[in-house]
Structure 1
Amino acid sequence: MDAFMIILEWFSKNILQNPAFFVGLLVFIGYALLKKPAHEVFSGFVKATVGYLILNVASGGLVNTFRPILAALNYKFNIGAAVIDPYFGLTAANESIAKQFPDFIGAATTAILIGFGVNIVLVMFRKITKVRTLFITGHIMVQQAATLSLMVLLLVPEFRSPSGIVAIGILCGLYWAVSSNMTVEATQTLTGGGGFAIGHQQQFAIWFVDKVAGKIGNEEENLDNIRLPKFLSIFHDTVVASATLMLVFFGAILAVLGPDIMSNPQVITSGIPYNPEAQSYFMYVIQTAFTFSVYLFILMQGVRMFVTELTNAFQGISQKLLPGSFPAVDVAASFGFGSPNAVLSGFVFGLIGQLLMIGLLIVFGSPILIITGFVPVFFDNAAIAVYADKRGGWKAALVLSFISGLLQVSVGALAVALLKLQAFGGYHGNIDFELPWVPFAYIFQKLGVWGYVIVCLFFLVIPQLQYRKARSKEAYYAGQVQALGEDKFSKKETDEEKNIC
């Protein structure tokens, strides 16, 4: 038994919580099940793992480029508040658990294993559960398990026991399985049948955006089809558009901050401070803006690399082990299928929404102030804009990412107050952990164990409703309800109606 637990712990730390190697392992298994030659199995493993590592490098670079600017803004305007960012939130949740519930420090790690097992079981019994997706984004699972552990332990006192850890794991597994399952049709539509779903922090938001974007704008008026004057046509190039937009955006912010603040190592505690002896401030601004564009370009390359291998290899897993399943991967995988202009527009308009709401909190004297974090403002709002642009064009992309920014800050402030995280400096911040998780947390607080049961039943009902609304069983399991099969099934129904008449 001890040996089994050691192996399980090793797998959790080195594979399950390391998404690059987890994805690589899935590709290795998938190609092996497809009986590919050994050299192709190895090649697929390497490409998938390296592609995900490239994605990690790019994501880390984007965060590290932006965080010093956030720190400088906080210092300049003397805003002491909680940071809405999953990395800050992870630290805050762990510190809060360690201080308030020292007997449950390992709860989140155990919950990850239980939750992943729950997800597998739900997919195995998909004919009953109607769940088609396996959540495989390990580092996201770590962040979410910590936040959900804090919610349950703090708000449901009855679960402060070993059985409570099992309850947390079940809750994690239900969320991972059901929320990623909600993104299948939207992602199939976006990617033209890419064969994957989203397993990140925006699944409920993606489902909602896919439903409402078409009512806000016209899909034909998307960001790629906007007619620009001839001299502006250069902005159809991703590199030029991203570099120019970031130059304007960062240039304005860095001009307000000034070289004295950006060169102060006591302010810029993460990243590299500006060195006035090595470079002029003007060139520093340009380099910072262009660096953002570089990491965005690298991210796109990494996404294409690992998604291609994972999509092909997962056919083996889908056919042999978990028939009819989709891998639920990092939301950045969707960026390569949408308009690059949507990624940038979502970031900018989401940030505008966040800054506006922060200003309103200050004006109305809120006891809880929020500092924007890069991960929610970029990854949430970029994804929302990408999916919205596909369904409702540029109007939907800009409106919905702006609204997301407002909600991230306003509901984030409610979450900080409810979970008493002011002293720990951070909250998760991603849009799914505003809606629906903050309302769920209030349900936990008011109804205790019964509230927990209600939330679990809510998750179980969602895929059943999705299945009922599907045009056919085959279409549902293929992810073609509203995407690839819509025209086909509509035509089929029309022909059947003619025969009846």
Structure 2
Amino acid sequence: MNFLDGISRGVLGEPAFVLGMIAWVGLILQRQALERVIQGTIKTILGYILIQIGASAAGVSLGNLSLLIQRGFQVIGIIPHNEIIVALAQINYGNYIAWIMLFGMVAHLCIARWSPLKYVFLTGHHMLFMASMLAAVLAVSSLSKWKVIFLGSLLLASAMSIGPAIAQPFVRRITNNNSVAVGHFNSFGFVIAGLVASFFQSENIEEKEASPRNLKRFQVLFQDHILSTTLFMFVLFLLAGFFVGRETMGELFLARPPFVIAVMQAIWFAAGVYIILMGVRMLLSEIVPAFQGISEKIVPNGIPALDCPILFPYAPIASIFGFLFSLAGGLSAMLLLVIQSNQYTIIIPGIVTHFFSGGAAGVIAYKIGRKKGLVAACLVHGFLITFLPYFLIPILSGLGYVRATFGDSDFAVMGFITKWILDLIL
């Protein structure tokens, strides 16, 4: 027992090292050259460290924004941003996350191999996000460590198998085949968008999608999510500074001009997000190919489930308007929370979540219900993915009180299901 405890707290107690071991084993199984194995292992560990560095940078800006919002609006602002909350979760539950992710991948491949759900979830960073959410909910319970890992792995595998399946009928309408699925943990949001757009299906006549010259200029702007995140945060800091007042801004930021404060805080936040995204890509670019190679051998007729931007080329303009109307729906949810919340706690719409999930929802809605379907479906979608995280916050009590939460709909749904299971078995 002492030996096992030493392994758990020592070698396996460092999440970066555990993830490095996963990449190492995967590359060895693929019979990669020694230099490729070394490269993949080091990049995996380095990617994990980059996530922690980025979380620290973005957390500074989030803390300042929350302070401004609290001073100016007498509310506490919480931003649904998956990368931020995952990086924070790894600080306390990194070991749980690594094991849940590893065994969850294995269980998911078993489901794909021996069940009708032939979808192979290949969006690595979303695996990490869901594993982090499950670890944060389960680790604070009275379950033992390995029971937490076992239950978390099963729930992760179920989410990776069922999520693409429920969204596939709508994805098939877009791609006109069954060769690819969407592996993005906003499946519930995509289904809702598709169902709402279906009410406008009678309007679904063949239309030629227009691409006005002026709109194309803004399309480039919106497609660069780091740039759009910077601009959104800049406007948010300016608005918060306006309501706080120049004098209070001077007290909080050493008498710097509000414009300069807004610019630097927005760029600081975007830089943190960029580092986190780069860390996630580096971390998982070595793990996912290993499991992808394995899945090709053990899952006959498997359907790859890829990230939601694969839908954007089918209706690029619809993806932009999907983002805008989803964000509008998120702002309406924020307004409702401002009016109804007794604790003055609001969810500030996360622009990255609305860009990716809202953009994909826009493509689905447009292909099914055209323009009217897009507007209605994306407004509902944006409201949903902003409102649901409000109820997820109490479930994430193990993280303490943080200024971020998970943004996509499936995280809230799986959080509710996990809490319900815990209530049943404890």
User: Do the structures match in fold with TM over 0.5?
Assistant: yes
Superposed, which structure 2 residues align to 1:201-220 within 5 Å? 201-217=185-201, 218-220=203-205
Answer whether contact 2:122 2:304 (CA < 8 A) is retained.
Answer: yes
SS of the residue 1:83 aligns to: strand
One-letter code aligned to 2:135: S
Alpha-carbon distance, 1:164 to partner: 2.7
1:361 aligned onto 2:334: no
**Distance across 1 between alignment mates of 2:133 and 2:296:** 34
Identify the residue that residue 87 of structure 1 maps to in structure 2.
83
SS of the residue 2:407 aligns to: coil
Identify the residue that residue 440 of structure 1 maps to in structure 2.
417
One-letter code aligned to 1:433: F
**Distance across 2 between alignment mates of 1:397 and 1:429:** 21
**Distance across 2 between alignment mates of 1:344 and 1:359:** 23
Identify the residue that residue 13 of structure 1 maps to in structure 2.
19
The percent of aligned pairs where both chains have the same amino acid is 19
Answer whether contact 1:82 1:371 (CA < 8 A) is retained.
Answer: yes
1:352 aligned onto 2:328: yes
Answer whether contact 1:350 1:377 (CA < 8 A) is retained.
Answer: yes
Identify the residue that residue 415 of structure 1 maps to in structure 2.
392
Q: Deviations over 1:182-220 (max 9, x none)?
A: 333433332343732222221232234334422234333
**Distance across 1 between alignment mates of 2:187 and 2:205:** 24
Alpha-carbon distance, 1:391 to partner: 1.2
Q: 1:189 aligns with which of 166, 173, 188?
A: 173
Answer whether contact 2:200 2:373 (CA < 8 A) is retained.
Answer: yes
SS of the residue 1:81 aligns to: strand
1:115 aligned onto 2:93: no
Q: 1:342 aligns with which of 306, 309, 318?
A: 318
1:329 aligned onto 2:315: no
Answer whether contact 1:317 1:323 (CA < 8 A) is retained.
Answer: no
* TM-score, normalised relative to structure 1: 0.58
Q: Deviations over 1:116-135 (max 9, x none)?
A: 0001111221xxx2111111
Answer whether contact 1:358 1:409 (CA < 8 A) is retained.
Answer: yes
Answer whether contact 1:318 1:324 (CA < 8 A) is retained.
Answer: no
Q: Deviations over 1:340-395 (max 9, x none)?
A: 22222222222222222222222224326234223322222222112111111122
Alpha-carbon distance, 1:110 to partner: 0.4
One-letter code aligned to 2:205: E
SS of the residue 2:185 aligns to: coil
Alpha-carbon distance, 1:109 to partner: 0.8
Superposed, which structure 2 residues align to 1:306-325 within 5 Å? 320-325=297-302
* TM-score, normalised relative to structure 2: 0.67
Superposed, which structure 2 residues align to 1:56-205 within 5 Å? 77=73, 79-94=75-90, 98=92, 106-125=95-114, 129-154=115-140, 157=142, 159-193=143-177, 195-205=179-189
One-letter code aligned to 1:111: I
Q: Deviations over 1:439-497 (max 9, x none)?
A: 31452354236xxxxxxxxxxxxxxxxxxxxxxxxxxxxxxxxxxxxxxxxxxxxxxxx
**Distance across 2 between alignment mates of 1:424 and 1:92:** 11
SS of the residue 2:83 aligns to: helix
Alpha-carbon distance, 1:397 to partner: 2.0
Answer whether contact 2:186 2:357 (CA < 8 A) is retained.
Answer: yes
Superposed, which structure 2 residues align to 1:370-385 within 5 Å? 370-372=346-348, 373-385=350-362
One-letter code aligned to 1:352: A
**Distance across 2 between alignment mates of 1:358 and 1:82:** 10
**Distance across 2 between alignment mates of 1:196 and 1:220:** 25
One-letter code aligned to 1:86: N
Identify the residue that residue 209 of structure 2 maps to in structure 1.
225
For structure 1, list consecutive stretches of 5 or more residues without a partner in the other structure.
Answer: 33-41, 43-48, 54-59, 99-103, 269-274, 296-301, 450-501
**Distance across 1 between alignment mates of 2:303 and 2:78:** 36
One-letter code aligned to 1:190: I
**Distance across 2 between alignment mates of 1:10 and 1:442:** 28
Answer whether contact 1:17 1:139 (CA < 8 A) is retained.
Answer: no
Greater mean deviation of Cα atoms: 386-395 or 198-207: 198-207
Structure 1 pair 253–432 and aligned structure 2 pair: CA distance change class (3 A): same
**Distance across 1 between alignment mates of 2:125 and 2:381:** 23
Structure 1 pair 202–354 and aligned structure 2 pair: CA distance change class (3 A): same
Alpha-carbon distance, 1:94 to partner: 4.3
Greater mean deviation of Cα atoms: 212-221 or 249-258: 249-258
Alpha-carbon distance, 1:251 to partner: 9.1
Superposed, which structure 2 residues align to 1:478-497 within 5 Å? none
One-letter code aligned to 1:356: S
**Distance across 2 between alignment mates of 1:267 and 1:350:** 33
Identify the residue that residue 235 of structure 1 maps to in structure 2.
215
SS of the residue 1:134 aligns to: strand
